[in-house]
Structure formats: C-alpha cells, structure tokens
Structure 1
C-alpha cells in the first residue's frame, strides 16, 4: 500500500531514534531465532497485530498460538527481518507513545545458502513506554503495491 509522503510534525531526538532502532533489532532477533515467547513479550499484554491479509491477533497468548501454528513453515530455513526508513513521531498528547512507520524486507536462507526474498511491506506501529521499557501496543502490516502513476497533464 503506498504510504503518503509528508513531514514529521513531532520529530524525535537522536537518542530516541537510536532507542527505537535498538528495540527493533532486539525484537526481530527474537522472532528470527524463533523465540516466540520472547517476541510476544515485546508487546503489551493486550497488544495487537493486524496482518496484511486482514487477520488480527490480539494479546500475547493469541500471538504465541498463531506463531506456534506457523512454526513448520520455518523448518530448514533461517529468516531475517530487515527494517529501514523509519519515521518516528511522538504523540503530542502522550510523551510515552511513539508512532513509527517503516519498510520491511524478509529474507529466507536455506541450508545450501540460497536466499529468497519475500514481498515487501510497510508497517505502522504504536510503541509505548511502560516502566521505562518500550513495547509494541499495535502493529498494522500493509503489503506493498505499486503506486499509481500521476495522471498526464
């Protein structure tokens, strides 16, 4: 889904940007290592994920169950999630809430070292600070589609 291009109204500091980058690095290393419980622990207890196909998982227990059901498809492959082009804004109404939009690329490497690329996505997260720790409150995943070319003048 093409995302609108705009300016950041409530830009974060470099320290917050680095903190968010580190949060995602830790979160994705957990999922890539198939540490399902550890990954779910990076969400609030009532956290929610809306997948590109429309399926919704609410709460850590539902996330863990969904990930456990998907484990067989990750047999004999190493998965890596790559995030980039993060746009991070503070919520002016709540200093402990960050809105993050980013691109993601997922690679899968088999035992012979062959790499395949999965479709790309744009992800919109709401991160919250709970007891000094960042957690994901919500994640909405949009499968990328081509942008419509501008109309001829």
Structure 2
C-alpha cells in the first residue's frame, strides 16, 4: 500500500515530545503485558482496526482480545519500535491530533534469539481528555511492496 506524503504543518516541539512520551508509555504497558494499563490509553469507545480488517471497539472488547492472546507471549519479550512519526494537529479541534507512523515489532525468546515481525503503518487519532492524550482510533496496515514498482 502506498501513502501520499505531502508537506504537513509543523507542530510545536512540546506537542511532538508529548506524543512521543505518550507512545513510549503506551507501548511499555503493552510490552510488559499490562493490558489493563494499555487499554486505559484508549478512549472508552476507542477502536482498533487490525491488519486484515478485524475490528475491536471499546476497551472491554480490546481487553477480551488481549486476554485471549496472552498465552502466545509466555516465553517471549515483545518490543514495539515506532519511527517516522508524522504528527498533525487538527485545525478544527485543538484537542485532536492525527499521527501516522511505522512500527517494527521484535520478539526475544529465553535464549536471547530475536525475531522480527512484519512491519506496519499505523494511523492514529489521539484526543485530549482532561489534559491527557488518549487513542480514539487506530488503523494498522501491514506493509507490502508498492504496486507502482511492479508496473514499471
């Protein structure tokens, strides 16, 4: 899938740092299997659309899905690495921020062997509630070759 990347208005350094800190906190929660803490970083009605189209709406549904997946993480340490964040403040709503980024997920087993998972592009809508950023929506798209390269 290709994405259009145009010139975007620059956000303040304070907002950039706040968004980076938000993601660092959110991912440390999920990587440490603090699923309740991770779910709390979403709005109550938050939504995730996973690669492949599976949709989870609301914290309760997210928690149920994460609880069911916990056995897969018994003998591994998972780390989410984010980069190339494009952050846009919503000109119509000062409490809304749109963020697009790339993610790489590593998994390390008990012997220290590291495996890499597929890479993804993630598009989030963050909202400020009572002064705190929360994820209102997340769309995760697995990366793949750009179809324009095959046509060349």
Partners of 1:49 and 1:2 in 2: how far apart? 21
Aligned partner of 1:145 in structure 2 is: 144
Partners of 2:40 and 2:30 in 1: how far apart? 11
Moved over 2 A (4+): none
Paired residues, number: 151
Unaligned runs of 5+ residues in structure 2 are: none
* Offset from partner CA, 1:68-121 (integer Å, 9 cap, x none): 000111110000000000000011110000000000000000000000000000
Partners of 1:142 and 1:11 in 2: how far apart? 25
* TM alignment of 1:30-109, pairs within 5 A: 30-109=29-108
TM-score w.r.t. length of structure 2: 0.96
Tell me the C-alpha RMSD between the 2 structures. 1.1
Partners of 2:94 and 2:60 in 1: how far apart? 28
Aligned partner of 2:5 in structure 1 is: 5
TM-score w.r.t. length of structure 1: 0.96
Partners of 1:5 and 1:146 in 2: how far apart? 17
Partners of 1:55 and 1:133 in 2: how far apart? 27
Partners of 1:40 and 1:122 in 2: how far apart? 20
* Offset from partner CA, 1:1-48 (integer Å, 9 cap, x none): 22222111x321011001000000000000000000000000000000
Partners of 2:151 and 2:77 in 1: how far apart? 43
Unaligned runs of 5+ residues in structure 1 are: none
